[in-house]
Amino acid sequence: MADRNVDVEKREEEVEKKHDSSKVASTFIKYAAYIIIFFGVLWFLITYILPMFQ
């Protein structure tokens, strides 16, 4: 009976490891998108909005 519990725990750890890499990748893509959007807005402000005040 104890052997079955150990097997289940090992299998759960393997499944979690597989999902960890996909979580890392999706988080990286999300924050990369945030950075691209931030720099896009910054570029827009510098290029179009800032010259209006000079």
Per-residue pLDDT reduced to its tens digit, 17-48:
556 889 999 999 999 999 999 999 999 999 99
In the chain, where the domains are located: 15-53
- The pLDDT of residue 24: 93
pTM for this model (two decimals)? 0.58
Burial 25-53 (b: 16+ CB within 10 A, else e): eeeeeeeeeeeeeeeeeeeeeeeeeeeee
- The pLDDT of residue 34: 98
Give the pLDDT band of residue 53 (cuts 50, 70, 90). confident
